[in-house]
Structure 1
Amino acid sequence: MTLTTHPSTSNTLSSEQPQVTIVVVPRERFSCARRSLESVFAHTQLPYKLIYVDGNSPAPVRRYLEQQAEAKGFQLLRTEYYLYPNQARNLGLSQVDTKYVVFLDNDVIVSPNWLTTLVQSAEETDAAVVGPLMCQYEPIHEIVHFAGGESHIWVDKTGRRRLREKMYDQGKPVAEVRDRLERTQTELAEFHCVLVRRSIFDQVGQLDEGMLNTKEHLDFCMSIRQAGGTVYFEPACIVTYVPGPPLKWSDLHFYMLRWSDAWTFASLMHLQKKWNLAEDSYFQTKYKKLQKGWRRKGTIIVPLVRFLTFGIGSGKLESLLIKPEQLLNQTLTTRHAKQQRQQQSATSPAPNLVSSPANH
């Protein structure tokens, strides 16, 4: 694995030893990276360390991150190829030496005192995992994406092991639900933003890289709870992830790979086999949606057709483009797998790291 680290200068904002390291990783695009990182700088009062995992960002973003690493004194890890989400998180995790680690996607906008609140919640509950009130879309902090949830295995009357997944209050206005939300133990937290007690990884091991691009949060939280750890929802902390179609041409390749059919299918199959789950309606529905390329259709094909038809749209043209897009997606996935095999065979098993973490 080829991995380069950007040398950085120490920029200690507090003499207090940080308890937490923020590990920022790519989610599905790079065009929100600057806004996300600057929200962290603006709204994080608690002392922290920062490790930024840059998985092959385009040149303007790469230069921005290098400039910020030098100016702010954080550790920048870069690969010259795109990363699976858990692969990126594990790269950052390997450098963490603090009591807590926060995994943060590069399209998340945080609010004032977000980190202080998460750490306080973990300290007061002894939780292994703490998730915030997660919002979605813009305007930020207004629409709930996730307010705790369920993720567990149950056995039906025929003896089949089945997965239960539920996200609470998704799509509801924050103003409508905020007063009734309270800190509570839950079964699920999402990787958009999550605080984890570092010592729990001594029990469960690193994040499962067989979960290539989806449902890795279910797998992780079930593993934590199986090991005796607790998961808490903390509504006093509010953050927002800003999804959307790839806003720049340079985002398109990564977005298509990140949500590729092959990666999604492999992730679902891995989850099913790992937890010995029946291929019930839960998986059947997801496999059917996958065959239709629903996510990329909505974020790539539909906007493209609207552009080509001057905003009118055309269902027939959308249908015609699905198959060519899926063939292109297969090509990108196959090429990425080949590149990774070549890089892994050409390099030593352990990355050559020159670490330069700094306190913030």
Structure 2
Amino acid sequence: MSTTQPRVTIVITPRERFSFTQQNLESIYQDTLIPFELIYVDGGSPESVKTYLQEQSQARGFQLIRTEQYLAPNQARNLAIPHVSTEFMLFVDNDVLVSPNWLERLLKCADETAATVVCPLTCIGKKVNEIIHLAGGEAHIYEEAQEDGSIARKVHEKHYFVNRPVAEVKDQLHRKQCEFAEFHCMLVKTEIFQILGLLDEKLLSTREHIDFCMSVTNAGGTIYCEPDSVVTYVPELPLNWADISFFLLRWSDAWELSSLEHFQQKWNLTKKDKYFKKRYKRLGHRRHNAFLRPLVRRINPLPENVWIEQQAINVERWVNHRITDRYIKKYSQTSQSLV
């Protein structure tokens, strides 16, 4: 590894589970050959993961920030930002695998375009670099005249090449200026936080990437996707109780509702827009698809299980609300931003 002074600090934060921690960290150290600083934010991981990270921090010399409670993603990132002194910081979720030269190519794009934010080609799945999750996208607010003469403010959001095989669109994947990136992996010029301040912690579980990128654009910054840099986001079902409990809170109705309402109010958006209606209708879908529907279909594979699924969802929602309420009461004194 070169002795050149690091230009970037990698910030790793938990996304929705802890069981991929080792694979994620080892991937970064294995496939990152240029110098970098690293800050790992550990929000309430189980004892085995906590011990592993403490050992790795000592062995590899990275900074470890630990809390005993679960953290919303922006809260975790904000714990790291004040400790970053390099030109760039690079946010990476703890369920991502990187590829050779990923960081070099992100920095090259930032240097050649003067971009404020650069994202890689982000793939999804256990098969690395095969199916596209995000290759940049569009995200902006537009105004639309209504029949009553009022003006509705709405969000336009579009993901490029989502769920397409990389091989199928490879000739279309070129460096491109876009309007948003996602926090799965996002290179950011550190100086932008002097203008914007810290990330918005009221966005507990959703829209935080759109909020940040629109704020960057409003501040005169630019966003690029660099598909020569490739990472893979690896979603899996939670494997243990620590994973499950964090997952249920991370995607709780309370956190998602609060995030959507805050996003709508912050940007003065029309609440009746289909953009919000769609998301309110799908509230809790991550939990239900991960646990309930597979369980119901295993118990009762007959067609009438649709009714049973709905009853199970109703019960699960009640339980989920109780879990969230207990968490808020337990940490209300130390985590006001999560209330």
1:75 is matched with 63
2:118 is matched with 130
One-letter code aligned to 2:172 = R
Find out whether 1:153 has 2:153 as its counterpart: no
Following the alignment from structure 1 to structure 2, what is the Cα–Cα distance between the partners of residues 91 and 313?
Answer: 48
Aligned partner of residue 90 in structure 1, secondary structure: helix
Following the alignment from structure 1 to structure 2, what is the Cα–Cα distance between the partners of residues 136 and 311?
Answer: 31
One-letter code aligned to 2:67 = T
1:297 is matched with 288
User: Which blocks of at least 5 consecutive residues in structure 2 are unaligned?
Assistant: none
Q: CA deviation at 1:201?
A: 0.8
User: What CA deviation, in whole Å up to 9, does each residue of 1:222-275 have, x standing for no partner?
Assistant: 000000000001000000101132122321000000000010001111110001
Aligned partner of residue 253 in structure 1, secondary structure: helix
User: What CA deviation, in whole Å up to 9, does each residue of 1:64-105 have, x standing for no partner?
Assistant: 111111111111111000001000001111211100000000
User: What CA deviation, in whole Å up to 9, does each residue of 1:156-193 have, x standing for no partner?
Assistant: 12221110011010010001112221111100100000
Following the alignment from structure 1 to structure 2, what is the Cα–Cα distance between the partners of residues 199 and 211?
Answer: 22
Aligned partner of residue 112 in structure 1, secondary structure: coil
Q: Work out the number of aligned pairs and report it.
A: 332
2:13 is matched with 25
1:287 is matched with 280
Find out whether 1:222 has 2:210 as its counterpart: no
2:158 is matched with 166
Following the alignment from structure 1 to structure 2, what is the Cα–Cα distance between the partners of residues 285 and 180?
Answer: 30
Find out whether 1:200 has 2:192 as its counterpart: yes
User: Which blocks of at least 5 consecutive residues in structure 1 are unaligned?
Assistant: 1-12, 350-360
Find out whether 1:242 has 2:247 as its counterpart: no
1:335 is matched with 326
1:104 is matched with 92
Q: CA deviation at 1:214?
A: 0.3
Following the alignment from structure 1 to structure 2, what is the Cα–Cα distance between the partners of residues 193 and 93?
Answer: 15
One-letter code aligned to 1:324 = V
TM-score by length of 2: 0.94
User: Sequence identity of aligned pairs in percent?
Assistant: 51
Aligned partner of residue 94 in structure 1, secondary structure: helix
**CA spacing shift, 1:120–1:311, aligned 2, 3 Å:** farther
Following the alignment from structure 2 to structure 1, what is the Cα–Cα distance between the partners of residues 19 and 302?
Answer: 24
1:63 is matched with 51
Following the alignment from structure 1 to structure 2, what is the Cα–Cα distance between the partners of residues 187 and 313?
Answer: 44
Following the alignment from structure 2 to structure 1, what is the Cα–Cα distance between the partners of residues 302 and 63?
Answer: 44
Following the alignment from structure 2 to structure 1, what is the Cα–Cα distance between the partners of residues 319 and 96?
Answer: 29
Whether the aligned pair in 2 keeps the contact of 1:306 and 1:313 (CA below 8 Å) is: no
TM-score by length of 1: 0.89
User: What CA deviation, in whole Å up to 9, does each residue of 1:286-306 have, x standing for no partner?
Assistant: 11221xx32211001123335
One-letter code aligned to 2:136 = G
Find out whether 1:272 has 2:264 as its counterpart: yes
User: What CA deviation, in whole Å up to 9, does each residue of 1:128-157 have, x standing for no partner?
Assistant: 000110101121110000111010000112
Aligned mate of 1:41, from 29, 32, 49:
29
One-letter code aligned to 2:70 = Y
Find out whether 1:179 has 2:177 as its counterpart: no
